[in-house]
Amino acid sequence: MASPFDLVVLGAGSGGLAAAKRAASYGAKVAIIEGDRVGGTCVIRGCVPKKLLVYGSGFRHSLRDAASYGWEVGPARCDASVLLANVAAEVDRLDLLHRELLAKAGVSLIQGWGRFLDAHTVEVSGGELSGSDETGGVETGGAEPGSTSQQLVGERILIAVGGRPKRPDIAGAELGWISDDLFLQRQLPSRVVIVGAGFIACEFACILRGLGLAVTQLVRGDHLLRGFDRELSAAVQEAMQADGIEIRFAHSPAAISGEPGDLTVTTQSGEQLACGAVILATGRRPFLAGLDLEAAGVAIEGHRIPVSPDQVTNVPHIYAVGDVTDRINLTPVAVDEGRAFADTVYGLKPRRVNHQLVASAVFSDPELASVGLSEEEAIERYGEESIRIHRARFRPMAQALPKRGPRVLLKLVVEGRSDKVLGCHMVGDHAAEIIQMAAIAIGMGATKADFDRTMALHPTVAEEFVTMPS
């Protein structure tokens, strides 16, 4: 017998969780469906475990620099199996925490994979209703389709199933790891080949190099981090290469062969690269497989679900948030989209998400963070003669004694006539923490004069943003 709900949410990732809990807080009867652990890409196989690996890999620099500050440190090596196990344990803890929070919010968690039967009905294969006890009470792991099923009827339905990595169409692609697979490992090989130039590829290259692996990165184009300010991406590239990461531009894989742990990547030019693992960081797509969207009449545009500014699909009572819409695929954006949906529909507090000014970061080594327009985007929009660039590049004080490491780069992109700061960018330690605060000023329309009037906090790296010559 079908169970009626005010809202049925497909996917317990960042956007789905935010929407479900906010809607329940307004009194809605909510069910959320998830066939994997709870938390989505960010918690299970993305932001959280990745950032923990970033912290772990960073100790290589700290230990190396310790002697210049008077610390006697003997030979050190990283036991990657300990780090990977500890990261996995933290992910398990967060999975349980999110289940408990759903139960506390009064949201029914259903374990299984959902598909549309019609515009109001979702069938869940392997589903189990939970939420009647304190912990959520369901086992982790996906269910086999067809093992058991139940039908849920929702007055409204929210699609928040996120995205999945895609493999390139080459021979032996199944032998490579996608980004998800790295978090399932218990040991790491001594040498890896990473395919891709985006933030996931660069982050994993820096993490694995920091853990002591030999890393070769194959890049199809002529530069890293497409979409970011070119000067910043060049600064990251310079530092990665100085740290021993071999980056081969204009190189693409043609095939992967061998056995797990003993692989060979053959490039399109015929070169063969031996390695223990291949990481295929070649993009992501919305995870629409198996949803049977056509049964509900939900339109697809390419590989994504198009929505209005209020997250509505072409079916008025069916909504979508997060990576399935393929707009800005970042966790905080999905969270805000989910909450905006709930506020508008159930809280009677209509609001829309501002997708125009979203800060972003790459947790490479060194870190890159950015908000607003890049130099290239500003020139395209306003014209080169209308743009002023202010920059500072220097060795940070933290490296004054070790006398090593890349210089930091701070950059302001300013519209000449209005003096308005259009973009604020940084490459260096703690860049994301600094740009997060700068994003507030940019969002309020700060000018270069506003930056100049701000008293510096000395000695810091961030003070350079308010002491750059006009």
Return d(Cα 248, Cα 251) in angstroms, integer. 6
Return d(Cα 91, Cα 183) in angstroms, integer. 10
Return d(Cα 10, Cα 17) in angstroms, integer. 10
Alpha-carbon separation of residue 408 from 61, 209, 411, 427 (angstroms): 16, 20, 10, 6
State the residue for tokens 């190099």.
209
Order of strands across the sheet with 408-415? 360-362, 368-372, 421-427, 408-415, 387-394
Cβ atoms of 387 and 414 within 8 Å: the answer is: yes
- Report residue 219 as tokens: 């890049």
- Report residue 333 as tokens: 């954006």
- Report residue 35 as tokens: 């066939």
Contacts of 216 (CB under 8 A, 6+ apart): 191, 192, 193, 194, 245, 246, 247, 248, 273, 275
- 61, 98, 317, 458: the catalytic one is 458
Return d(Cα 409, Cα 438) in angstroms, integer. 15
Cβ atoms of 319 and 329 within 8 Å: the answer is: no
In three-state secondary structure terms, 242 is: helix
HEC letters along 41-100: HHHHHCHHHHHHHHHHHHHHHHHHHHHHHCCCCCCCCCCHHHHHHHHHHHHHHHHHHHHH
Strands 214-219 and 246-249 turn out to be parallel
User: What's the CA dihedral at 239, 245, 249, 254 to 10 degrees?
Assistant: -160
390 labelled catalytic: no
What are the catalytic residues?
458
